[in-house]
Structure 1
């Protein structure tokens, strides 16, 4: 132990010295969960009280606005396509689930979709490109509901549920970070669930026309637990993270990796604390949660603690520029030294 412990400590200090979060000034108190990293300079956030924020200078300054007519809504996801165009999704039962779009950098917003089904509750958005995307709702009458757009979010149409596996009793998705639903390549998409006995992963290879489902080793069993976030670095290699948000510091079956596109999942051990977001950062995985953030340099096999700040979401560009967002206006940029 006298020789092993110093080596482990040196490894942690070396890793921690070469990557850290730098807090950015925001002067707002909204709780942020929606986050989109567009380029090294451009990022968007969204959150409570209808708040949307944008930076165009790498976070040195942020511009915040409130979407007119949505002052009481909680925007849990944002997808952006540069400095001017962004789409936000608010959560809630019935008409509180909405989608708005801006084409002028957030100066004005247009309502593009408002849910009319009192049983539906939308959780997240994901796009393959600027035109084609999906939005996910919790199950309605035993099946997850998805709507799709092929015109950049102007119109949305329901996808068929005939080829969607049946939802389990108590199963649902978590609108915790905007990453319970993700897209990859030209036609693949995945979403993760919780609340039932085991967390599951749903996959489509044809933009939502047909779906398959696989079980994971992440335990759910209660409505506050399951898989919260999913991310892929390519079509085969991915990670899911989660846990029980009511027990943010506890470990257990909280993360798993796949090497076959989500068909099978292997538990990450030793366990991470609860994590609500995970993202690929060009050469490493980064996961965040209410008790802190973690990083893996060996494709998710082992993890090190980065810090113990409260974050809800994390996103990176393909070039490796990244942000994390959390409660009370917290936004941080990821820095390597």
Structure 2
């Protein structure tokens, strides 16, 4: 079937009532009607009609910061809190948030979890900052009920001052049935690590996005498949800083070339648009933008500060951000089908 090039027009971000003022950083879009979000003060939200958001309390979690969430459907979701040591936790629900079960607490006092991702309903991966100089990676094969730590001390070795950013739940991403990537900053060089075997072994590559400071580096990495991906970042303390905030790869992350994202400034998330060939959306405190050519060129969508985005289709997506921000994209099709 020939590719159909859709007319690209200005985006349609529209605010939705979230019912909270908490900072929101986690987002999992299941369909055009179902999405979950999470954030500070133990906040978890869900919509099942694409319009109305409901808060789903997690018992004894009001001091936790749920930086990432992965939902399988309207009933099943896994949430991850980020924080030092035991403040990093995994909870799971299978009844739409009516009840939650604590599945795992970080046993390392030095640890700090950053993100989770799933290849399918059963197989997933968890990523955290270095402990004793080695990044933490855990995997699950039962939907997040149990987790096993990966042992690859050489492949997961961290540089001095290197860490990850739990800013959007997307410093870790997966594609296909076994590829995974995570991104870093803070050290002299920003890097993206790649695993082709569901997290068992890793190899890192430098990326031409400036790092060298605790607030600077790669905040997000997104892949449309096992080859084409984009890294996004900047400096979260200087949201409008005009520097290289993006890079792209066509060989699965082995090599990267600079590809600045619009709008200029700090980008905390980049994701492929589900159902749209070569289309990506990036966002951060500088605003949001889109690309329909695999990150080679970008167009500004909006200047509203956001933390993360996700898309169900080329015409339906959500963004969440500061002060309980929830916005829905319900406008023109982004890119090619």
Please give the range of the TM-score, normalised by the shorter of the 2 chains.
Answer: over 0.9
For residues 273-332 of structure 1, what are the alpha-carbon distances to aligned partners after superposition, in whole Å with 9 as ceiling and x for unaligned?
110011111242111111211111222112121111110001123665311100111111
| Residue pair 2:19, 2:53 contacting (<8 A) in 1 also | no
**Deviation of the 1:269 alpha carbon:** 4.0
Q: Tell me the equivalent position of 1:324.
A: 319
Write the distance in 2 (CA, Å) between the matches of 1:110 and 1:57.
25
Kept after mapping to 1: 8 A contact 2:245/2:261: no
Give TM-score scaled by structure 2 length: 0.92
Q: What count of residue pairs does the alignment treat as equivalent? A: 322
Tell me how far 1:163 sits from its aligned partner.
Answer: 4.6
- 1:289 counterpart residue number: 284
Unaligned residue ranges in structure 2 (runs of 5+): 1-6, 333-337
- SS of the aligned residue for 2:237 comes to coil
* 1:21-69 Cα deviation digits (max 9, x unpaired): 11111221111000001111100000011010000111x1111122111
Alignment correspondent of 1:9 = none
For residues 275-314 of structure 1, what are the structure 2 equivalents within 5 Å? 275-281=267-273, 282-283=276-277, 284-314=279-309
Unaligned runs of 5+ in 1: 1-13
Alignment partner, residue 225 of structure 1: 216
Which stretches of structure 1, 4 residues or more, deviate above 4 A after TM superposition?
none
1:108 aligned to which of 99, 106, 126: 99
Deviates more, 1:283-292 or 1:67-76: 283-292
Q: Deviations over 1:107-129 (max 9, x none)?
A: 11110001121011000001111
1:40 paired to 2:25: no
C-alpha RMSD of matched pairs (Å): 1.4
Equivalent residue in structure 2 for 1:261, among 241, 248, 252? 252
Partner of 1:25: 17
Distance 1:312 1:118 in 2: 27
Question: Aligned equivalents of 1:315 and 1:197: distance in 2?
Answer: 30
CA distance in 2, matches of 1:26, 1:300: 31
Secondary structure in 2 matching 1:161: coil
Which residue in the other structure is 2:176 paired with? 185
DSSP-derived class of the 1:147 partner? strand
Change (3 A) 1:117 1:332: same
TM-score scaled to structure 1, two decimals?
A: 0.92
CA 1:98–1:236 in 2, change beyond 3 Å: closer, same or farther?
same
Whether 1:90 aligns to 2:81 is yes
